[in-house]
């Protein structure tokens, strides 16, 4: 079984089209209980998310326990908290680092409240991570929306300069949270198909992954920071009524 665990709802960014959950965080001991419950259920991969997972001060301890039980650890991060020390402390327990990047122009990152100097810092992290652990997989997630359609080619060309493994193009969907107020940012079927046609025939060192309506229809298992288990399916969140504590 594979799932996404939103280990914290806290984030140090304020992206305009964010769709994170807003739940309270649990203690390390409580999350250890959840992790051991997941181990009993034969979970094989956990995607650690948030919020920003590196804001959870005991993330390393949970990653370590997970790895000791041969679970694949994927971590989704905006990278802004990462420096060489934090990377070295955590990276041995991480199989794939997933980073968010929608613009390489930091004036646009500032405009959409992703943060000033966001890409300036992220590109240093991309180099640093591979230098410290060459075997780690790196995936870049890009949300495709009205605001960045005309900048995707520049982003693609920039990514060719880095040792990444995957570039995931995620069609913007207003699922929950702040994203529900940003319907105007959505792209049409034709616009998203144009993006697929623009990039998916190309040959480069990394693979291109598409997240579209078909992917949205699949059932995804999510553990919230409060310990609740839900399913995300077809753009809707379905409560299971189960808490993993």
Q: With 0-12 CB in 10 A as exposed, 13-18 as middle and 19+ as buried, what is 39?
A: middle
**Strands of 109-190, DSSP E:** 137-144, 166-171
Which residue blocks in the chain are alpha helix, DSSP H? 28-40, 59-68, 84-90, 106-111, 118-132, 152-159, 189-199, 213-217
Domain that holds residue 99: 2-243
CATH number at residue 213: 3.20.20.70
Residue 133 and residue 92 in contact, taking contact as beta carbons nearer than 8 Å: yes
- How many domains does one find in the chain? 1
| Residue 175 pLDDT level (bands cut at 50, 70, 90) | low
Q: What is the largest CA-CA distance in the chain?
A: 48
Tens of pLDDT, residue by residue over 43-85, are: 999 999 988 999 999 999 999 999 999 999 999 999 999 999 9
Tens of pLDDT, residue by residue over 112-141, are: 888 889 999 999 999 999 999 999 999 999
* pLDDT recorded at residue 152: 97
Tens of pLDDT, residue by residue over 198-244, are: 999 999 999 999 987 677 667 789 999 999 998 887 777 787 877 88
**CA 52 to chain CA mean position, Å:** 9
* pLDDT recorded at residue 63: 98
* pLDDT recorded at residue 28: 97
């Amino acid at each position: 079984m594979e799932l996404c665990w939103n280990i914290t709802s806290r984030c140090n960014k304020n992206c305009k089209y964010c769709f994170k959950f807003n739940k309270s965080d649990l203690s390390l001991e409580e999350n250890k209980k959840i992790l051991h419950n997941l181990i009993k259920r034969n979970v094989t991969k956990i995607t650690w998310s948030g919020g920003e997972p590196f804001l959870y001060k005991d993330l390393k301890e949970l990653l370590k326990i997970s790895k000791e039980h041969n679970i694949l650890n994927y971590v989704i991060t905006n990278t802004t908290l990462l420096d060489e020390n934090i990377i070295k402390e955590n990276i041995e327990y991480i199989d794939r680092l997933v980073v968010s990047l929608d613009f390489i122009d930091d004036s646009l990152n500032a405009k959409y409240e992703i943060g000033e100097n966001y890409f300036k810092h992220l590109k240093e992290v991309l180099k640093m991570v591979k230098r410290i652990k060459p075997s780690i997989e790196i995936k870049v997630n890009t949300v495709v929306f009205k605001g960045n359609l005309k900048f995707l080619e520049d982003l693609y060309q920039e990514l060719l300069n880095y040792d990444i493994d995957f570039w995931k193009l995620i069609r913007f969907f207003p699922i929950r949270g702040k994203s529900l107020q940003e319907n105007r940012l959505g792209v049409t079927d034709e616009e998203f198909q144009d993006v697929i046609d623009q990039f998916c025939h190309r040959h480069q060192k990394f693979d291109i992954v598409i997240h579209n309506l078909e992917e949205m229809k699949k059932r995804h298992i999510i553990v919230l920071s409060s310990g609740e288990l839900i399913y995300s399916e077809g753009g809707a969140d379905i409560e299971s009524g189960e808490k993993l504590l």
